[in-house]
Amino acid sequence: MNNSKTWSGRFNEPVSELVKKYTGSIDFDKRLAKWDIQGSLAHAEMLRQAEVLSDEDVANIQQGMAEILKEIESGTMPWSLDLEDVHMNIERRLTDKIGDAGKRLHTGRSRNDQVATDIRLWLRDEINEIRSLIQALQAALLDLAEQHADTVMPGFTHLQVAQPVSFGHHMLAYVEMLGRDDERMADCRKRVNRMPLGSAALAGTTYPIQRETTARLLKFEQICQNSLDAVSDRDFAIEFTAAASLLMVHLSRLSEELILWISPRFGFIDIADRFCTGSSIMPQKKNPDVPELVRGKSGRVIGHLTALIMLMKSQPLAYNKDNQEDKEPLFDTVDTLVDTLRIYADMVRGITVKPENMRAAVMQGFATATDLADYLVKKGMPFRDSHEVVALAVRHADEQEMDLSELPLDKLRSFSDLIEEDVYQVLTPEGSLNARNHLGGTAPEQVRLQVARWRELLAN
Ligand code: ARG
């Protein structure tokens, strides 16, 4: 067979250059090479045990693959678009090196089960990496939360000052989100970790294959139980990209907050200069490029989710070439996620908190009004009445341009004679924080308990 394409014996004319480029995937799928070789070696070993391939053939295949792996690592592997994709490039290289044994490797296999296996093997490894990066980011946030368990900042609803919260508590909110992201990754990995190999093109194969053997060699937890499903399904990739999208949405929200807080209008924090750039025209500018890009890149990952889910929709069973389009969105999702997580942990470690500015902002928004209402309730007033009393007090303080805690006692008592000297304990931001000392509340003591809980979880 001297045709360059493995399957071209059937054709009278070669494909045009444009079609070759259009249908080829080697430019992007060569990054699966390492996992393609892993899969091939396991397949060959299984065929040897099943006495489909001889010991000698398999020894040659192992030798040839070891050489190819070295060529790939050193950048000397000759990749060719004529050979369409990573699978045929490697197989041809093997055959060039070891002859007929290389041509026997594909026995009982198709590129359809091969590619599905490769992606799963690759993604399984990437999920491990992503999970450890999520946990490293959580650890960075925990350090910040611990340092600032007692730091008061305004908590917002509707982006209006609502109630004082601990800055540490605010950071812990993101630790929780990331914890669920990590859970989703772990859960999705279970469904990634199933082996399509052995399904061949779509219907299985006539050779006496032992799929359990291949699965064991490749450390797959389960084996795909239906050959048609195994070669055509990409829901594991969609699921992964959905989990990735949620993770990026969480980081986008945090980024939006960092951007606001860095703005001198807020002045709550600073981030290290290495995450910012200047303006080419405005000499005073320090722009938070990194969080802005994270916010922007979340859209990119969500776009990949949309691409993958649209790709799957309406595909009849079993494999269709459409599925070749799964790779670029998936690869870019992983690359974006890995880079974002790496840079983020470093950026969080470079955050400087400005507690005085946060406290000043708390003092401007009547953040302890609810505390005063609760105080009156504890002294016997029904909540609806206390709500009204406090509203009047806030109105007065606003006119005087004072915080509630700055009003003298006799003034406060003019709104309700239930108010006594001890009211000042609840009117301060610190008093407000300490009063919310229950599971999930913002009291510094609770923040420290949560930090300890998460540290223990991460250690296991
Ligand atoms: N490059 C192809 C892909 O990524 C490999 C499978 C090709 N199979 C086929 N029947 N043409 O999906």
CATH 1.10.40.30 for domain 365-459: yes
pLDDT exceeds cutoff 90 at 305:
yes
* CB of 89 shorter than 6 A to ligand 1: no
| All residues at 6 or more sequence positions from 364 whose CB lies less than 8 Å from its CB, including other chains | 161, 403
* CA nearest ligand 1 atom 10, residue: 112
Residue with the smallest CA separation from ligand 1 atom 11 is 321
216: CA distance to ligand 1 center in Å? Answer: 25
**CB of 114 shorter than 6 A to ligand 1:** no
Predicted confidence band of residue 9 (pLDDT cuts 50, 70, 90) = confident
91 lines ligand 1 (CB under 6 A): no
Instruction: Give the tens place of pLDDT for each residue, 185-215.
Output: 999 999 999 999 999 999 999 999 999 999 9
Amino acid 424 reads Y
Atom index in ligand 1 nearest the CA of residue 201 equals 10
CATH architecture of 112-360: Up-down Bundle (1.20)
Question: What string of DSSP letters covers 156-225?
Answer: EETTEEEEEEEHHHHHHHHHHHHHHHHHHHHHHHHHHSEE-TT-TTTT--SS---HHHHHHHTT-SEE-S
Instruction: Enumerate the domain spans of the chain.
Output: 17-107, 112-360, 365-459
Q: How far apart are CA 86 and CA 5, in angstroms?
A: 13
Q: Is 87 in the active site?
A: no
Query: Are the C-beta atoms of residues 59 and 31 closer than 8 Å to each other?
Result: no
In this chain, the answer to whether the domains covering 17-107 and 365-459 adopt an identical fold is no
Q: What spacing in Å lies between the alpha carbon of 114 and ligand 1's midpoint?
A: 9
Q: pLDDT by residue (tens digit) across 311-366?
A: 999 999 999 999 999 999 999 999 999 999 999 999 999 999 999 999 999 998 89
Q: For residue 425, report the distance from its CA to the centre of ligand 1, in Å.
A: 70
CA of 127 to the centre of ligand 1 (A): 23
pLDDT of residue 5: 59
Distance (angstroms) between ligand 1 centre and the Cα of 26 equals 11
Q: Whats the size of the chain, residue-wise?
A: 460
In CATH, which of 1.10.730.10, 3.40.109.10, 1.10.101.10, 1.10.275.10 is domain 17-107? 1.10.275.10
Q: Which of 4, 54, 263, 279 is catalytic?
A: 279
Catalytic residue among 158, 199, 227, 396: 158
Nearest CA to ligand 1 atom 12: 324
Helix (H, G, I), strand (E, B) or coil at 265: coil
279 part of the active site = yes
Q: Is the pTM of this model over 0.75?
A: yes
